[in-house]
Amino acid sequence: MKRILMIGTGGTIASDKTNDGLAPELTSKQLLEFLPDIEKVCKVDCVQPYSLDSTNIAPQHWLGIAQVIKESYDAYDGFVIAHGTDTMAYTAAGLSYLIQNSAKPIVLTGAQKPIWFDGTDSKRNLYDAFSYACGGCGGVQIVFNGKVILGTRARKTYSKSFQAFSSVNYPTLAVIDEGRILQYITLPQTAPVKFYDTLNANVGLLKLVPGITADVVQFMMDRYDGLIIESFGVGGLPEYSDFYTVIKQNVEKGKRVIMTTQVPNEGSDLTVYHVGGRLKRTVDILEAYDMTTETALAKLMWIMGQTNDYDEIEKAFYSPVANDILHFGN
């Protein structure tokens, strides 16, 4: 029988009522009490490094989860991480860089309703997660509402519905029905597992809106080592304020900038329009293309935790990890 380590971090799945609303109260061991049949599937041990609403999860917690898995990696066949849904996609992306080439499944799951609610999705999601941790492919994945989504491709697209997560610019890896796994895509790991323990979390995210001025970009640049800019459509900068000069000057000072798009699907291409072409051609910025914003953010944190040399950052950013980037522009 497979041995699985369950890592509890809090989230809705583990929440109980308080005077101010739901808050994480249940431990991973208590969650398992709602799934007595899981002992027929695998042998489970539990650890509880955190009990947090996922709104409070930060990159330091990604490092903590990765460290738990590193210390336990040889002793278990797979890992299930119970996590809140709101920042689960960020954590899945972060873990995809901190734990690379894992031949063992590392599965994040959670719920839109606490495990003790009538009609909760918690029990199904947990059962599916354990099933996949026992019989699925290696690497970091989210298991939710019967779908298996690659950790670098997940985004929360519904705030309340059970189909909370979508796979962005990449197919769903598998579906699970009553413990039966239908695997569409396998991702064989050809290199030994590698763990990282350093991030530069001083990376910001700015969403452009109509009327925004370059002063806001400068404000962000003054405070962060790296900046992800979510632009409109296929990408570009407004021409009514001096965005170009602000970005160029800060990049020349060693700040790192990644341009991406607010549009969920099909990715960016700065070369299409004049508003992006000049920037792409003359400034050492990076472009996310078909990566999700969550993944671009986590990847830059990971890369800048290893180096601040632009050439090395560029090479690492455009080197695929866990199929995080597939399509490149000209």
Is 293 in the same domain as 262? yes
Query: Using CA atoms, how far apart are residues 178 and 217, in angstroms rounded to an integer?
Result: 49
Task: Point out the domain boundary residue: 165, 195, 225.
Answer: 195
Position 325 in a domain: no
Output the DSSP codes for 105-130.
EEEEE--SS-TTSTT-SHHHHHHHHH
Residue-wise pLDDT tens for the chain (330 aa)? 999 999 999 998 888 777 777 777 788 899 899 988 898 899 999 999 999 999 999 999 999 999 999 999 999 999 999 999 999 999 999 999 999 999 999 999 999 988 887 889 998 999 999 999 999 999 999 999 999 999 999 999 999 999 999 999 999 999 999 889 999 999 888 899 999 999 999 999 999 999 999 999 999 999 999 999 999 999 999 999 999 999 999 999 999 999 999 999 999 999 998 889 999 999 999 999 999 999 999 999 999 999 999 999 999 999 999 999 997 755
**Domains contained in the chain, number:** 2
Query: Using CA atoms, how far apart are residues 181 and 146, in angstroms rounded to an integer?
Result: 9
Is 15 in the same domain as 61? yes
Per DSSP bridges, beta strands 180-183 and 194-195 are unpaired
Is 143 in the same domain as 242? no
Is 159 in the same domain as 217? no
Can you give the pLDDT at residue 329?
Answer: 59
Is 177 in the same domain as 35? yes
CATH of the domain at 229: 3.40.50.40
Do 70 and 195 touch, CB atoms closer than 8 A?
yes
Q: Whole-prediction pTM value? A: 0.95
Asked if 12 is an active-site residue, the reply is yes
The residue range of the domain holding 303 is: 203-317
Position 327 in a domain: no
Position 290 in a domain: yes
Q: Containing H/E element for 34? A: none
Q: Which of 38, 29, 93 is nearest to 66 (CA)?
A: 93
Position 324 in a domain: no
Q: Is 248 left (phi over 0), alpha (psi -120 to 50) or beta?
A: alpha
